[in-house]
Amino acid sequence: MGYFFKFSPVVNLFRRFSQGLVNDTLNLKFHNFAQVKVKIPCLGDPRAIAKILQVADDEIKTFEKKLLREPEVLAWDYEEGDLTIKTYAWLKDLDFAVIMKKYPDGKRRLITSFYVDKFYKQKDFERKYTNRIK
């Protein structure tokens, strides 16, 4: 029922029956509340919807926690097969990578950056990190 009372059409209906000049002083007296007519869906539908919404809420909370903590950043130099040296920066928790070419004078130039959405690419980065230049 909590989601139902937060549903915009229901909130707007309660506002129409409320008294007050501005939003922060609105109040809904019982005699007005008793006049509000809303259609409540059968119990099966709201329970199924609530379960789906609860799962979505849990996933959002997990993602927010992931964003709020300090992300694990791995940065390393790696010698490629063509003997060029590339610098990798991988925000592992956020699945984001930046790849730069490292020049002999120590300067770097951005090659690419992208979202690491493939499992095989994560494994490739782990392999390159293990075999990095130390």
Q: What is the pLDDT of residues 46-78, one digit of tens each?
A: 778 888 889 999 988 888 877 777 778 899 999
What's the structural domain count of the chain? 3
pLDDT tens column, 78-111: 999 999 999 999 998 888 999 999 999 999 999 9
Same domain, 105 and 59: no
Same domain, 7 and 54: no
pLDDT tens column, 112-131: 999 999 999 999 999 999 99
Instruction: Tell me the two tokens of residue 64.
Output: 């927010």
Spatial neighbors of 101 by CB under 8 A, at least 6 apart, are 84, 85, 86, 87, 108, 109, 111
Same domain, 65 and 77: no
Spatial neighbors of 25 by CB under 8 A, at least 6 apart, are none
Same domain, 34 and 48: no
Same domain, 54 and 93: no
Same domain, 32 and 14: yes
| Residues 77, 96: Cα–Cα separation, whole Å | 17
Query: Model pTM?
Result: 0.50
Same domain, 60 and 16: no
Range of the domain at 120: 73-130
